[in-house]
Chains A and B, each alone.
Chain A
Amino acid sequence: MNIIITGLITGSMLALLAIGFSLIFGVARIVNIAHTAFYMVAGYCIYVLSVKLGLHPVLGMLIAVAVVTVLGLLAYKFLIDPIREHEAAVLIATIALAMIFQEAMLLIFTGDYLTVTALIEGYFILFGVKIFYQQVLTFGVVLVLLAVLWFLLMKTKLGLAIRSTAEDREVANLMGMNDSRLAMITMGISVALAGFTGAVIAPLTVLSPFMWMEPLILMMAVVVLGGLGSIKGSFVAAYILGFTEALVVFMIPKGAFLKGSVALTIMILVLLLRPEGLFGISFEEER
């Protein structure tokens, strides 16, 4: 039971992160290493707003997501956009950005672990396992967010534009889609998703300036496993890895050390059989 709950929560978190990462990669070919750093910043924003300033947590969450989104757009506009043709440079720029966030948080909040109060206190017992209301809430919010995202991508004109640019940038451009504006919008959506993830996960975990490293690796594993640019793939892969992690932690002694290793080994094994991931469309050779 514990396994299912942990797996669901980790899987949902990974799904949200991975979809955001995958979106911006698909549209703008940007490997945004700083993606999970935004998630960390969102967590800290909530801490400041709800614990320090005493705002209502829900309000704090919304403001935090807005702050992070603006931050992401500014970073994109001034740091990533000018060097977009140089892929390696973009990569390093995002790494540097993540490090800047980490150091800034370290300076402001020191390295101490901080906690955020849950929205709803209390728990109920199901089959002898404590389930906190916060966990149920987090899972619910994630599902709602995923539904909204699905609607946005599949049913609106913007979603169509995003999907087609991800599939073939040149043709989409020829069909009159403004490539750079679309990249900007996608960056906004992607960062907002990271912010939301931070917002819903913050009460369940402890905040530290280094909390972006671990989900970063797993998120990348999810994205690669599911196939780059495939939203459905990211979704399925996120739960696969989420449950694997939970299984390893609860079943194997010393599992906490091995959880990353096992998840990544699964990723590598799948890639050996299917080099483009579970649901990936093999990209046409880009020359």
Chain B
Amino acid sequence: MVAAGLYLKRFYTVVRGEVLVLPSRVIVALFFLVLLGMPLISQDPYLIRIIVLTSIFAILAASWDLLSGFTGQMNFGHALFFGVGAYASAMLNVHLQVPPWMSVPLGAAAAVLTGLLVGIPCLRLKHTYLALTTMAFPIILMGIVFALPDFTGGELGISGVQRISNSLIGNYYIYVGIMLVLCTIMWKITDSHTGIIFHAIREDELAVKASGINTTRYKLMAFCLSGFFAGIAGGLYAHYMRIAGPSTLEVSMSFTVVIWAVFGGIATIYGPIAAVFILFPLLEFVRFWPEYRMLIFAVVVLLTLLYMPEGLIPWVRDKIEKECPRCKIRNVSTRKTCRICTAVLD
């Protein structure tokens, strides 16, 4: 009893000292709590469906950020990984009756393989060449899908994919849980030693090379990691929609991912996730106005970028938090002095 009390007190101190001091951390904590507690408040199937789909796309957008935001390898064909993941797990599930808990990781493995296949030739290209070349891959694959309708279902796709869980709430927790775990892993990766090298490759590849780091290996690693997460997102999508169709490979799919990530702010991981959680429900919200849906989406994105070219989330973060000029620790913008080193904040 006493031990539990002490433990709780310790927990409270940690929460007060580490989470409540910064509004951005409070927001993240609230985000976790709200997502996990959502089914207790409402069990509306429509709402749950939107949140599940949003979670899937949040993984996708964050995985794009891991590759393109961090290492600066602009990938305009991110739908390739998503589509490969979706098709691979759907085919395994439908043709070979592999259960979902195996088919999704296998789909992700297929996406990693694709990442290697695409990454090795593409690493010779830079900047715009890379962006435009990567855009070609999903289209090539789509041509193949259409040309082999017996195997891939052609235009209709593969339908009849098994659900992961048959209960509504069970499904919800599986998807949201996977999303939260994967996004935390991605965020941790970018926070690690590897993440710093990714950052450095984007800023100045030559300097990284000069420091004795094999940049090719790291870039390839970024391709594979990103492919892995996007592949999982694809597999989850196929199992949720119960169909893997050519729409997962479309150009607009690749574009939408880029839009989400840039709108939220690249090289942050949390930016794209937040952007998906804002933009995707927004798109659903204007559903009763179908003709203007995409128009509103495009206009919102355009106007936001015009005033916040760095992305929405970094802009918001700069408004509510200040960086201490001396020790580089972030503080609430209402504070006059730094919470660590008491230097005066300007």
Contact = CB atoms under 8 A, between A and B. Distances in A.
B129 A287 contact: no
Contacts of A106: 291
Interface residues of A, number: 50
Given A264-B139, A271-B129, A275-B129, A257 B295 contact: no
Interface in B84-136: 121, 124-129, 131-133, 135-136
A107 B139 contact: no
Given A100-B295, A254-B147, A86 B133 contact: no
B259 A224 contact: no
Contacts of B310: 86, 89
Most buried by A among B142, B266, B298, B299: B298
Contacts of B140: 260-261, 264-265, 268
Contact of B132 (A102, A224, A254): A224
Interface string A270-287: 011001110000000111
A103 B298 contact: yes
A49 interface: no
Contacts of A275: 124-126, 129
Interface in B297-311: 297-299, 301-302, 305-306, 309-310
A83 B144 contact: no
Contacts of A103: 292, 294-295, 298
Given A257-B147, A265-B140, A99 B129 contact: no
B121 A272 contact: yes
A95 B291 contact: no
B146 interface: yes
B255 interface: yes
A96 B125 contact: no
B266 A88 contact: yes
B298 A99 contact: yes
A22 to B, nearest CB: 11
Interface of B is mostly: helix
Contacts of A223: 132
Given A91-B262, A96-B301, A257-B147, A228 B129 contact: yes
Nearest to B258: A92
Contact of A228 (B128, B305, B309): B128
Interface in A84-138: 85-86, 88-89, 91-93, 95-97, 99-100, 102-104, 106-107
Interface in A187-243: 213, 216-217, 220-221, 223-224, 228
A220 B135 contact: yes
B296 to A, nearest CB: 9
A59 interface: no
Nearest to A255: B147
Given A217-B136, A220-B132, A97 B305 contact: no
Contacts of A259: 143
B306 A271 contact: no
> Is the interface on chain B under 10, 10 to 19, 20 to 34, or 35 or more residues?
35 or more
B295 A268 contact: no
A88 B310 CA distance: 9
Interface string A247-261: 000000010011111
A25 interface: yes
B263 interface: yes
B294 A99 contact: yes
A4 interface: no
Interface in B179-230: 204, 206
B129 to A, nearest CB: 6
Interface string B248-268: 000110010011001100100
B4 to A, nearest CB: 50
Contacts of A267: 133, 136
A31 interface: yes
A176 interface: no
A82 interface: yes
A254 B147 CA distance: 7
B299 A100 contact: yes
A171 interface: no
Given A106-B291, A271-B125, A275-B124, A95 B259 contact: yes
Interface of B: 74, 121, 124-129, 131-133, 135-137, 139-144, 146-147, 204, 206, 251-252, 255, 258-259, 262-263, 266, 291-292, 294-295, 297-299, 301-302, 305-306, 309-310
Given A31-B132, A213-B251, 11 more contacts: A79-B302, A92-B258, A99-B298, A100-B298, A107-B292, A217-B251, A221-B132, A257-B146, A262-B143, A271-B124, A275-B125
Interface of A: 25, 31, 33, 79, 82-83, 85-86, 88-89, 91-93, 95-97, 99-100, 102-104, 106-107, 213, 216-217, 220-221, 223-224, 228, 254, 257-262, 264-265, 267-268, 271-272, 275-277, 285-287
Give 6 nearest A-B pairs by CB, closest first. Answer: A261-B143, A257-B146, A264-B136, A86-B309, A103-B295, A99-B298
